[in-house]
Amino acid sequence: MIWDAFITCAVTGVGASTEKNPHVPVTPAEIAAASIEAARAGAAIAHIHVRDPKTGKGSRDVALYAEVVDRIRASDVDVVINLTAGMGGDLVLGGVDAPLPLDMRSTDLVGAEERLAHVTALLPEICTLDCGSMNFAEGDYVMTNTPGMLRAMAKRVQALGVRPEIEVFDTGHLVLCKQLIREGLIDDPVMIQLCMGIPYGAPDDPQTVMAMVNNLPAGAIFSGFSIGRMQLPFAAMALLAGGNIRVGLEDNIWLNRGVPATNAQLVERAVTIIQAMGARVLTPAEVRAKLKLQKRDHRGRAA
């Protein structure tokens, strides 16, 4: 059990959730507003993807990230900014009988520098590193993050002074994470996100969760989440296991059966869970101190 926990809100993601929940933010203004509302509700960290405002699909456009970050930094609400660096690792095969050529309508594979272009330009306090490859959900899609790519990205993030959040989807990803630490590519404190219940990664049953927790690098600070209806129950599980909490519309779009959620409502539920268990919700300032983060002003300068 952890008695002082922070909440991350993953406000939008890149999935087709906009068709099922009208509260999923799409435009930069909507994504920034959702991040600010989540912070007001109790989230210390906003985990951010961006979407093409015309199509609603996930995007790597640096200008879209810049507008979101500028709006958040210019607001009167404090929140730690965490930008995804997962975009650009999408490999989609052509089909079971003809895997090549690739499905280039959906494949998005770019180099380390391009995957981190928005991080380099905007210098968020945190960015993610998906620490491994896996079959991700159905069809012919493979989330692709090779050891060479991750080493290059980790080295670049380290040079920028941005804290990497290591996204761990399965047990082997922890092995690679520990190797990167041994190679000096990830600085203390090591920040890990356990991403559970995602086909076909680690399931979110208690035994698997505790196996992951028991194999974390020594001294690591971790959060955990599951998807869909297990998101809020897993908030309690993560807290009991000694970790922090992630909620948000990237991972779950429902507040109750048939009731579309907002990001703020999911954060409010997480606050209730933490407080009902006798623990305390950490503020953004306390999270910065815990994770040794550098706050930046609306121009991206050290504050």
Q: 263-284: per-residue pLDDT in tens?
A: 999 999 999 999 999 999 999 9
Average pLDDT rounded to a whole number, residues 40-48 = 98
The pLDDT of residue 301 is above 90:
no
Q: Could you tell me the residue range of the domain that residue 157 belongs to?
A: 4-291
Is residue 131 assigned to a domain? yes
- Within a domain: 30: yes
What's the pLDDT at 274?
A: 98
| Residue 153 pLDDT | 98
- Output the pLDDT for position 16: 87
- For the chain, what is the radius of gyration of the CA atoms? 18
The two structure tokens encoding residue 184: 């000096």
CATH number at residue 119: 3.20.20.70
Q: Is residue 302 part of a domain?
A: no
* Residue 9: band (very low, low, confident or very high) from pLDDT cuts 50, 70, 90: very high
Instruction: Give the model's pLDDT for residue 290.
Output: 97
pLDDT > 70: percent of the chain: 98
Q: Is residue 295 over pLDDT 80?
A: no
Does a structural domain hold residue 297?
Answer: no
Number of folded domains in the chain? 1
Which is nearest to 68 in space by CA: 36, 94, 45? 36
Is residue 91 in a domain?
yes
Closest CA to 266 of 228, 299, 294: 228
Residue 23's pLDDT is: 96
pLDDT digits (tens, 9 = 90+) for 55-108: 999 999 999 999 999 999 999 999 999 999 999 999 999 999 999 999 999 999
Structural domain contains residue 296: no
Contacts of 205 (CB under 8 A, 6+ apart): none
Q: Tell me: pLDDT of 256 over 80.
A: yes
pLDDT at 298: 62
pLDDT at position 254 is 96
- Residue 114 maps to a domain: yes
Mean predicted confidence (pLDDT) in 37-45: 98
Distance, in Å, from the CA atom of 30 to the CA atom of 141, rounded to the nearest integer, reads: 28
Average pLDDT along the chain: 95
Residues with Cβ within 8 Å of 146's Cβ and at least 6 positions away in sequence, in order, are: 133
Amino acid occupying residue 149: M
Query: Per residue in 99-152, pLDDT tens?
Result: 999 999 999 999 999 999 999 999 999 999 999 999 987 789 999 999 999 999
Residue whose C-alpha is closest to residue 82's, from 258, 257, 250, 268? 250
pLDDT at 29 over 90: yes
Q: Where are the alpha helices (DSSP H) in the chain?
A: 28-41, 62-74, 112-115, 117-122, 147-160, 171-182, 206-214, 231-240, 263-276, 284-291
Across 251-272, average pLDDT: 96
In this model, does residue 164 exceed pLDDT 80? yes
Ranges 14-28, 149-163, 189-203, 286-300: which has the least confidence: 286-300
User: Looking at the predicted structure, is the pLDDT value of residue 293 above 90?
Assistant: yes
Q: Is 298 part of any domain?
A: no
pLDDT recorded at residue 232: 95
Q: Is a pLDDT exceeding 90 seen at residue 231?
A: yes
**How many CA atoms lie within 13 Å of 266's alpha carbon, on the beta-carbon side?**
38
